[in-house]
Structure 1
Amino acid sequence: MNPMLNIAIRAARQAGNIITKYYDTADATEFKQKGNHDLTNFVEMKAKRKIIDIIFKSYPNHIIFTENDSQIYQKNEQVQWIINVLDDNVNYIKKLPHFSITIATRVKGRSEIAVVYDPMRNELFCAWRGHGTQLNGYRLRGSSIRYLDEAILSTNAMFTEHESNVSTIDTFQKLLYRCADFRRSGSVALDLAYVASGRLDGYYAINLKPHDFTAGDLLVREAGGLVTDFSGDNNYFFSGNIIAGNARIVQSMLTQIRTKQ
């Protein structure tokens, strides 16, 4: 196994232990004085420090990017680690047990390894470029659904009507009218992991940041799927707009997005 993948798995599992510990004890007396957001910030910082310590112990010269950093997509000779400690923190605050830890590396502008860990279900999705995607050691392949009207899609799009959200709702409606059903879980990384595993057939997202999707992107592609921007190109690291699924579903989604009403 790739040694960086081993380190990423170890870091994700140990961060997961921290996150689940405080999830289970959030109602304890010592935490009742903290607000939900304060507690979540505390947990995120503690888990983030654990991940960074583990990475730097083995790779002190590598670069680490977190959810507060930008320009991850730029090519660099040094190895870049992209981490998202708690995706989705709102689910965590609301005690909805659907969130993940994500860790990915990029080498010379190409994603090399990816880990998405769901600590509540103890499901660890991982990928190594050229070696496929696995869930807890078992090889994954994405959905084989051929037609959009049979597909279950997921999105990060906000469903509230607002002047700045008109085009998003417009595009969402085009897909909603054509697919079998839609989901919105809150966790981008788990949505993409579910596309890689065939639990979801496709994914549509807007305005993502690299820490949101870098790990999930590699999971999908190594499971035989496609990830594109809304033009069918691979510029989503710049735009943050993503379509993911198998080749037939991605093409059908792109067709609907481009269709004028």
Structure 2
Amino acid sequence: MNSISPNLNLMIKASEKASKILIRDFGEVEKLQVSLKGPNNFVTNADRKVEKIIIEELEKSKKNFSILTEETGFIKNKDKDNFWIIDPIDGTTNFLNGVPHFCISIALLFEKEIIAGVIYDPIKDEIFYAEKNGGSFLNNKSIRVSKKNNISGCLYGVNFRKNLPENLIIRNTGSAALDLAYVSCGRFDGCFQKNVNLWDIAAGTVLIKEAGGIVDKFDLKKFNKISIKASNERISSDLNKKISIF
């Protein structure tokens, strides 16, 4: 592994440890698909178990950062200005229905800026990570955004269709975090997400920036109903002209 900070190392270890529970529980969810009871309550418990493991691991840093999580909300610790941002299962609907496309997402907001992020897809065993001024990586290999420059020939990860130009090639994968991760490594050329939460996108934004991409600014004090546009640098200007809904 390339040289990384203690904070990012802790985030990676936390996601790896929590992923073991997630993989096991996903196997159980697939079995529950054919039962009358269904997997809803089981998935809620899986979310909470994964979140608990991640929090326990991150708190080993002894820095008393606060914590923002999907399940519990904002947990105030001694340091109220800097905090970990956790989504234990991004792509919950996929997980719920036995679709193997979901991830763990962890970010660190420090001095009013997201400076580190980890997105771990446990089923594909793909771990994306980045920190400010340190580059972006997938399974320890450096990654960059795509170099395409024609917006109509690009592929975009989105969570909506209305008001987008008809000639755009889009995919709604059900995981905003993985959409952003895919932009960072060039699988997607851009990403548009509306009304998402900070924990859905925090880690992905630093991944894209460190991979040479562009992410529109958004209010970090806002935890919900965020809209975001991200892409490689070559198509960013044209997208801003074509898409004005943000």
Superposition TM-score, scaled by structure 2 size: 0.88
Partner of 1:9: 12
Secondary structure, counterpart of 2:195 in structure 1: coil
Deviation sequence 1:96-143 (CA, Å, 0-9, x none): 000000000011101111000000000000001101000000000000
Q: Distance in 1 between matches of 2:187 and 2:123?
A: 17
Secondary structure, counterpart of 1:146 in structure 2: coil
Q: Can you give the 5+ residue segments of structure 2 that lack an aligned partner in the other structure?
A: none
Q: Distance in 2 between matches of 1:54 and 1:258?
A: 41
Query: Which residue, out of 207, 213, 221, partners 1:225?
Result: 213
1:22 Cα deviation after fit: 1.0
Deviation sequence 1:55-75 (CA, Å, 0-9, x none): 112235111110156789xxx
Query: Which residue, out of 35, 45, 49, partners 2:38?
Result: 35
Q: Distance in 1 between matches of 2:15 and 2:66?
A: 17
Q: Can you give the 5+ residue segments of structure 1 that lack an aligned partner in the other structure?
A: 160-168, 229-233
Amino-acid identity (%) = 31
Q: What letter matches 2:137 in structure 1?
A: Q
Partner of 2:218: 235
Q: Which aligned runs of 4 or more in structure 1 are off by greater than 4 angstroms?
A: 31-34, 68-72
Q: Distance in 2 between matches of 1:217 and 1:37?
A: 30
Q: Distance in 1 between matches of 2:31 and 2:170?
A: 37
Q: Distance in 2 between matches of 1:108 and 1:126?
A: 20
Asked whether 1:247 is paired with 2:233, we answer: yes
Secondary structure, counterpart of 1:105 in structure 2: strand
Distance 1:47 1:25, change over 3 A: same
Q: What letter matches 1:242 in structure 2?
A: I
Superposition TM-score, scaled by structure 1 size: 0.83
Q: What letter matches 1:253 in structure 2?
A: L
C-alpha contact 2:89 2:104 (8 A) present in aligned 1:
yes
Secondary structure, counterpart of 2:123 in structure 1: coil
Q: Distance in 1 between matches of 2:73 and 2:39?
A: 27
Query: Which residue, out of 84, 87, 96, partners 1:84?
Result: 87
Q: Distance in 2 between matches of 1:77 and 1:24?
A: 38
Distance 1:27 1:131, change over 3 A: closer
C-alpha contact 2:48 2:71 (8 A) present in aligned 1:
no
Q: Distance in 2 between matches of 1:186 and 1:205?
A: 11
Q: Distance in 1 between matches of 2:45 and 2:239?
A: 40
Q: Distance in 1 between matches of 2:71 and 2:95?
A: 19
Partner of 2:204: 216
Greater gyration radius: 1
Q: Distance in 1 between matches of 2:35 and 2:244?
A: 50
Partner of 2:138: 135
Q: Where does 1:88-127 land on structure 2 (aligned, <5 Å)?
A: 88-127=91-130
